[in-house]
Structure 1
Amino acid sequence: MKRRTFFKKGSLIAAGAGLLSPFDLLAGDNSRHSNLPKQGKRAKNIIFMVSDGMSMGTLTLADLMLRRKEGRSSNWMSLYNKGTVNRALMDTASANALVTDSAAGSSSWGGGVRVNNGALNVNPDGSFNKPILQKFKEAGKSVGCVTSVPITHATPAGFCVNVASRNDQPIIAEEYLKLEFDVMMGAGTEFFSKEDRKDAVDLFQKFAQKGYTIVKSRRELQGLSSTSGSPLLGVFHKGGLPYVVDVQSSKDLTNRIPSLAEMTRAAIRRLSQNKDGFVMQIEGGAVDWAAHANDAPALIYEQIAFDEAIADVIDFAEKDGETLVIITTDHGNGNPGLFSSDKKFDLLQTVKQSNNWVINRIKPDYTPSKLIDHIHAAQGFAINQEEAQEILRYYQGANAKSVPVDVFARIASKYTGVAFGSTGHSSDFVELMMYGPGADQLPQFVKNIDLHNFMLDATAVNAPRA
């Protein structure tokens, strides 16, 4: 964006700010901008990308790492630098709190109404808000979700279902079966496998009976026919996918676990066969998990993995010319930042394992020296004897358990320079950008609920507005 244009728009926003009541920003307010501009050129497709729990510090750390390690900017920041996208800030509150969770955050986009934390498109009075992928599916478009955490998790589910509690993931998996969406990929085998479900129902078999192609490994995903039009269910791991930094250090995991970018490319190939277009959500869900754990190695490389998927999406959209790309997050988490020397931060260029990997492999019989060696081999720095003894206290005695994540993160931060403000979500306004048809209609500040109608208007889909 040209400097003069930027300041011209900024002045207009500043002038209009006094017209907005401060109460418009409170949690629970479902009013929306009445002056959202009408769309010009319509989008045939929408790709909605969510780096779940991405504080601004997370975006910064990933960009700094790529600059130091590879001599290039992140794809996200490159889009800003080129001025080819429209950028805004977004308010992320839920119906009952200034600090949202992922269920309410995604439901604000999916249903267009703020709901209480923990709910998926279900209002406090029990009424439903129809999820946006159901609206697009009824309009004839192909729809789907891709994530690095369970496909039944809060963020993809917020685009898809009406369920009172985000924790009812076995029920969410059953709802997906009923909805017959075109592509669903991520983790969470325990919600589909008869061996893990309490009701012993084999949902994999039921999806196959409905004509779905089922893939459970990276190799199977890579072997898919590029021209097959059958619906696709890909579930690649129990729980969430292992952190990218751990996958990269394991030949076995590398062979079994697809990257977010690989899943994204496969989904686009499948969904784009529909002449009437498609709408999909892509989530870097493990960014949020790493932020909760204050796990700097996991966080940075999960964000970089999400950034690699951005490159594939923008490449498709540039060639296609009919795709609106929306890239954002549902809330901040952890508020990490670099607070020390470049030299310390550079240790993370060669880190081999996440904090999670390190913590879960510490044994009660470790000596301080053994623990020091264990951490050094995995992460490249050597803690001192006192720090080793502090960690080992959690693994020894009658009430032994693993070291709390924030304790390990606090010690590690002395050597990497990356520190966190908390292990929870924040109320920060978050980054939002758009590329493609309709992107020029993005105001510079929006509420999360505004995006529901924005997407419907961008595609001119004749469905009830929220």
Structure 2
Amino acid sequence: MFQKLFVFSLSVMTLLMGTGAVTEGKDPDPPSKNEVDNVILFIADGYSAGYNVNYRHYKEGGDPVWDSFLTGMMTTHSANNRITDSAAAGTAMATGMKTKNGFVGLNENGEKVQTILEAAHEAGKATGLVATSTITHATPAAFASHVDSRNNQTEIARQYMDNGTVDVLLGGGKDYFLPESEGGHQDTRHLLKEAKTKGYEIIENREELLSSNSKHILGLFANDSMAPDLHREETEQPSLADMTSSAIETLSQNEDGFFLMVEGSQIDWAGHANDAAWAMSDTAAFEEAVIEALAFAEEDEQTLVIVTSDHDTGGMTLGGYHSHGTDVEILREVTATGEHMANQVNDDRSNVKKVIEAHTSLTLSDEEIVAIEESDNVTLAINHTISHYAGVGWTTTNHTGVEVPVYAYGKGTEHFQGLIDNTDLAKNIATVLNIPF
């Protein structure tokens, strides 16, 4: 593992001038014929400006590392809906083509379209996918598979193995690679055994990941999705930063460069649950992964790092109905997800106060305790109560259609300035890598 030598202390002006972005009184640098060898694309699933302002207050010791290289905003609508799902958004970002919600790697007519990862593979570059969901989930799947339903994760896993376009796969979802006879979801195929015959090293925990020196890795660290970062220390799973640095170390062995997509998957899940503490803690884990990539990019000087999102989830804001203030900092003292707390509440719900006080710094009023006890959705009631104290507002438990931020560091940032569409992402990555697409 390369060490965290990167200390992100450059001023905004120095950074922008050093990366070729627009600065006052200076035109953008013209694109070079071959701008970079490597692109690392970070997708914070569900993240938007509302999350970012809350994370700025949640984080101790400075602004989010990506704030200094904000380049623009990105639209997110799909081909058939102003509010996208992750499959359509991932496909747009991966292929440069709009598609219907639910489609993966297909255009809106159901036709297979090439992804930027596949184009990078054809150009001789190494490729990788990293996620904290199952590695067969919608966003990673959009870069290396083609199905008409994002829920067909068994077929997505089969395509990963059959197509052979991804050198490093790290995330959850082991059961999607195992046959039903071993408790998995495949009818008969044993994809882990097949992967071994194709030269993949199969790894299942953090220790194995950190000691790996293979050029082809299939790392599956949970039978289903990985643990939220709030609960990761209870497992043997690697962090998102661990997976990112390992992927970079492996892929950078290719002299022709690499393309890597890293997803902070569970920021979205926290948004669906309106769980502010889960959202912020997984954002912190995501930032640690970004810092690893920036350290590599600074030293390498031939790597473009892009940080963005596929869509907003939950409509998170700073301030909301019934908020007690804007004390986002109290979320640092929450030690469990709302779902975890709800699962500890007994059948008669008489221990609500004890459970919440065990995992937060809050002392609830009798009225708040009764409201949770009488709720039809204890998890959501707990999460809303914590959000009210933190001053975090929510508008929905689903996605919204607002634009999301785009951040870019390295050569080629001029391609990601202003308001862009999600279909521009793959096209501009291909331009920066100078590969056919």
TM above 0.5, yes or no, is yes
* AA in 1 matched with 2:226: L
Counterpart CA distance in 2 for 1:128 and 1:315 is 36
1:406 to partner: Cα distance? 3.3
1:106 to partner: Cα distance? 1.0
1:213 to partner: Cα distance? 0.4
1:303 to partner: Cα distance? 0.6
Query: For the aligned residues, what is the CA RMSD?
Result: 2.4
Decide whether aligned partners of structure 1 residues 366 and 406 sit closer, same or farther in structure 2, where only a CA change above 3 A counts: closer
Provide the residue aligned with 1:423 in structure 2: 397
Provide the residue aligned with 1:453 in structure 2: 427
1:191 to partner: Cα distance? 0.7
Provide the residue aligned with 2:53 in structure 1: 60
The 8 Å contact of residues 372 and 384 in structure 1, kept in 2 or not, is answered as no
Matches within 5 A, 1:26-37: none
1:118 to partner: Cα distance? 0.6
Provide the residue aligned with 1:266 in structure 2: 246
Identity of aligned residues (%): 32
Q: Which moved more, 1:44-53 or 1:193-202?
A: 193-202
1:416 to partner: Cα distance? 2.5
1:135 to partner: Cα distance? 1.2
Counterpart CA distance in 1 for 2:209 and 2:414 is 36
Counterpart CA distance in 1 for 2:279 and 2:365 is 24
Counterpart CA distance in 2 for 1:341 and 1:321 is 47
* 1:202 pairs with one of 176, 179, 190: 190
Structure 1 unmatched runs, 5+: 13-36, 395-401
Provide the residue aligned with 1:72 in structure 2: 62
Provide the residue aligned with 2:6 in structure 1: none
* 2:259 pairs with one of 264, 279, 289: 279
* 2:134 pairs with one of 137, 146, 150: 150
* AA in 1 matched with 2:432: A
Matches within 5 A, 1:209-288: 209-225=197-213, 228-229=214-215, 231-248=216-233, 250=234, 253=235, 256-288=236-268
1:113 to partner: Cα distance? 0.6
Counterpart CA distance in 2 for 1:284 and 1:437 is 24
Counterpart CA distance in 2 for 1:143 and 1:124 is 26
1:123 to partner: Cα distance? 2.4
Matched, 1:347 2:327: no
Counterpart CA distance in 2 for 1:199 and 1:384 is 52
The 8 Å contact of residues 332 and 430 in structure 1, kept in 2 or not, is answered as yes
Decide whether aligned partners of structure 1 residues 298 and 86 sit closer, same or farther in structure 2, where only a CA change above 3 A counts: closer
Structure 2 unmatched runs, 5+: 1-11
Provide the residue aligned with 1:191 in structure 2: 176
* AA in 2 matched with 1:197: H
Matches within 5 A, 1:35-184: 38-39=31-32, 41-66=34-59, 70-77=60-67, 80=68, 85=69, 87-180=71-164, 181-184=166-169
1:268 to partner: Cα distance? 0.4
Decide whether aligned partners of structure 1 residues 240 and 128 sit closer, same or farther in structure 2, where only a CA change above 3 A counts: same
Provide the residue aligned with 1:24 in structure 2: none
Provide the residue aligned with 1:293 in structure 2: 273
Matched, 1:320 2:300: yes
The alignment partner of 2:89 has SS state of helix
The 8 Å contact of residues 176 and 186 in structure 2, kept in 1 or not, is answered as no
Question: Which string of whole-angstrom CA distances, capped at 9 and with x for unpartnered residues, describes residues 346-380 of structure 1?
Answer: 3222221111211122220441xx22011100122
Counterpart CA distance in 1 for 2:424 and 2:328 is 38
1:324 to partner: Cα distance? 1.2
1:264 to partner: Cα distance? 0.3
The alignment partner of 1:330 has SS state of coil
Provide the residue aligned with 1:392 in structure 2: 373
The 8 Å contact of residues 86 and 440 in structure 1, kept in 2 or not, is answered as no
The 8 Å contact of residues 373 and 382 in structure 1, kept in 2 or not, is answered as no
Question: Which string of whole-angstrom CA distances, capped at 9 and with x for unpartnered residues, describes residues 360-415 of structure 1?
Answer: 22220441xx2201110012213233333333345xxxxxxx72543332222232
Decide whether aligned partners of structure 1 residues 40 and 436 sit closer, same or farther in structure 2, where only a CA change above 3 A counts: farther
The 8 Å contact of residues 98 and 108 in structure 2, kept in 1 or not, is answered as no
1:263 to partner: Cα distance? 0.2
Give the TM-score normalised by the residue count of structure 2.
Answer: 0.89
* AA in 2 matched with 1:45: N
Counterpart CA distance in 1 for 2:284 and 2:33 is 33
Counterpart CA distance in 1 for 2:364 and 2:129 is 41
* AA in 2 matched with 1:328: T
Counterpart CA distance in 2 for 1:445 and 1:40 is 24
Counterpart CA distance in 2 for 1:387 and 1:179 is 53
The alignment partner of 1:46 has SS state of strand
Counterpart CA distance in 2 for 1:335 and 1:6 is 32
The 8 Å contact of residues 40 and 438 in structure 1, kept in 2 or not, is answered as no
The 8 Å contact of residues 241 and 292 in structure 2, kept in 1 or not, is answered as yes
Q: Which moved more, 1:92-101 or 1:335-344?
A: 335-344
The 8 Å contact of residues 91 and 99 in structure 2, kept in 1 or not, is answered as yes
